[in-house]
Structure 1
Amino acid sequence: MPVENLARSDVVTAHEDEHVQELATLMDDSGVGSVVIVDGDEPTGIVTDRDIATRVVGEGMDPSETTAGDVMSDDLTTVDHTDGFYQVTELMSEHGVRRLPVCDDSNELVGIITFDDLNELLADEHMQLSDVIQAQRPEY
């Protein structure tokens, strides 16, 4: 199944010049743990709640003065919208990330897939498999 069928299309985005304090509020209001930093429609980086905790608070930086560009991970790993589940898990493992922006053929952001999304998918698949097994079980 292509990742575009699994990914969330409602990606929270911001620009490099946004202050970290604004990003934290945006994450809280949106109920997410990351903001993809974009230039136009192309992703250029990502800021996670962990980045804010370790790179801003942990370093004693002022969140109202620090920008996304100052703390974002700019060695961004993305996944193509046509890639499948296994390519996503391989990329996450290889790069040690829990979130992958999903891009189309023009490298424009079309979604995001997270480790939690994959776990939810697997849980649903296990539940469906369990239902099949239960339906096949003979009554004694």
Structure 2
Amino acid sequence: MSPEVPRVSDVMTTRPRSLPRDATLHEAARLMRDEGVGDVLVTVDGRLCGMVTDRDIVVRAVAEDRDARITPLGEICSADLATVRPDDDTGTAVRLMRERAVRRLPVVDEARRPVGIVSLGDLAGRDVLSLPTLEEIWKAPPSV
């Protein structure tokens, strides 16, 4: 009998940090600092519509001289997101990370409300990723 593949819900970080699409970059940066996270999920009416990372803020906002106090997250967030569900197996998360060259995936429920986030670190910490796969995803160029 082969061992059961863990589910995303077994490895994900629960209670992801999120802000509405009209929140400012400044609010997102402060939340990241205060919570010690590198990403914030962006929502409309509680449903996922994007993600902004600390790198996005630097590359898409600071480097472009945007005013962090007035620029809404909706203007710089990544909107074309791959997502997983809590009951997906971790192999699905690994495949999506490899295909999309991303290090984090939002976890959403049936209504696209964020319920978690799964990162390379979450998967590596549970021995879900092989070393070659981990290196392949880690070395992929950023998708900005």
> What interval of TM-score do these two structures reach, taking the shorter chain for normalisation?
0.7 to 0.9
Q: Quote the residue 2:38 is aligned against.
A: 33
CA distance in 2: counterparts of 1:3 and 1:95, whole angstroms: 17
Q: Normalising by the residue count of structure 1, what TM-score does the alignment of the two structures yield?
A: 0.82
> Larger helix proportion, structure 1 or 2?
1
Q: Distance in 1 between matches of 2:42 and 2:121?
A: 20
SS at match of 1:77: coil
Match of 2:61 in 1: 56
Q: TM-score, normalised by structure 2?
A: 0.80
**C-alpha separation in 2, matches of 1:77 and 1:20:** 22
Q: Aligned pairs, how many?
A: 123
**Distance in 1 between residues matched to 2:27 and 2:114, nearest whole Å:** 21
Find the aligned partners of 2:103 and 2:61 in 1 and give their Cα distance.
20
Report runs of 4+ in structure 1 exceeding 4 Å deviation.
none
The aligned counterpart of 1:17 is 22
SS in 1 for 2:127: helix
Alpha-carbon deviations, 1:7-62, whole Å to 9, x = none?
11120000111110110000010110000011233211000001001001111111
- Code of the aligned partner of 1:26: L
Equivalent in 99, 106, 114 of residue 109 of structure 1: 114
Matched AA of 1:103: V
Mapping of residues 1-140 of structure 1, within 5 Å: 1-122=6-127
Counterpart for residue 134 of structure 2: none
Once residues 46 and 71 of structure 2 are traced to their aligned partners in structure 1, the CA distance between those partners, rounded to angstroms, is: 23
Give ranges in structure 1 of 5+ residues lacking alignment. 124-140
Higher alpha-carbon Rg: 1
For residues 25 and 110 of structure 1, the distance between their equivalents in structure 2, rounded to whole angstroms, comes to 21
CA RMSD of aligned residues (A): 1.4
Secondary structure, aligned partner of 2:64: coil
